[in-house]
Structure 1
Amino acid sequence: MLRFDTMDQKIPYDDYQLPVVFLPSYESPPAWIAPQERIHHPDYNNELTKFLPRTIVLKKPPGAQLGFNIRGGKASQLGIFISKVVPDSDAHRAGLQEGDQVLSVNEVDFQDIEHSRAVDILKTAREILMRVRYFPYNYQRQRERTVH
């Protein structure tokens, strides 16, 4: 006989009869917006070109700052992201923005790289050829996972 007062108790993993798969928590969809209002709403923007990979070229004189910060890396499993761009910096004028995922720098793949190695590459380079793509969804997930 099944007792309802024990339904809320957690069953120890070893007591399950079948193989068990634990699923990630459900992510709620965005709030519903009336169709006539969607054309002016940023969550319903149909302009997808802003998500395509693009190339950023920066020249860094000796001792100069990069003009941007990064976060993430191999530990987050989501990549390296631009977390801050200094207003009026060369990086800002070149089109770099918060939420850009760094795909590569000077032909070095940044999609599965340690944070410290990424910083070393960016700080030592005099000319930086970056491939980036705007990826706000994974940037937000990455921010929630890391402390960098």
Structure 2
Amino acid sequence: MDSRIPYDDYPVVFLPAYENPPAWIPPHERVYHPDYNNELTQFLPRIVTLKKPPGAQSSEITPSQSHVFSLYQQVIPDSDAHRAGLQEGDQVLAVNDVDFQDIEHSKAVEILKTAREISMRVRFFPYNYHRQKERTVH
């Protein structure tokens, strides 16, 4: 008996449109080129601390349903989260020492809603963020 799966039974996978890479810049010109940025500190993990007053809601920050990391899709301008330094495209690595990698969305929301003081270890990771946002926001 043939154990191969018929071709029509395979799932359909849609790949994103191909984007051409940026033009190559010779190494000796990169330091002075306006399209090349050597400043990488914005991508390092950092700690963002939020303190909520009693009765306050955690609606200032909205986690997406990403299962790789929790990406913050929306940070309300001029909110405590915004003033603390949280920004769109931040990946939450941990909250109050709870690892947020592969965390269930409902558990992430529960932690963020119940904690009075939130200490987040985040990193800015904009790679493909806007394309992912377009796919998930309806």
TM-score by length of 1: 0.69
CA-atom RMSD in angstroms: 3.0
Q: Say yes or no: does 1:28 pair with 2:28.
A: no
In structure 2, distance between residues paired with 1:111 and 1:145: 21
CA deviation after TM superposition for structure 1 residue 147, in Å: 5.1
Q: Deviations over 1:38-80 (max 9, x none)?
A: 8333xx3221110000000110112223322111232xxx321
Residue 116 of structure 1: how far off its partner (Å) = 1.1
Q: In 2, are the aligned partners of 1:85 and 1:96 still within 8 Å (CA)?
A: yes
Distance 2:54 2:20 in 1: 47
Q: TM-score with structure 2 length normalisation?
A: 0.73
Match of 1:9 in 2: none
Instruction: Please list every run of 5 or more consecutive structure 2 residues that lacks an aligned counterpart in the other structure.
Output: 1-5
Larger Rg: 1
SS of the residue 2:94 aligns to: strand
Letter in 2 for 1:40: P
Fraction of identical pairs, as percent: 63
- Checking the alignment, whether the CA contact within 8 Å between 1:72 and 1:142 is kept in structure 2 is no
Q: Which residue of 2 aligns with 1:40?
A: 34
Secondary structure at 1:97 match in 2: coil
Aligned pair 1:127/2:121, yes or no?
Answer: no
Q: Judging changes above 3 Å, is the alpha-carbon distance between structure 1 residues 138 and 79 closer, same or farther for their aligned structure 2 residues?
A: farther
Residue aligning to 1:68: 61
* Number of aligned residues: 125
Q: Which runs of 4+ in 1 moved over 6 A?
A: 33-38
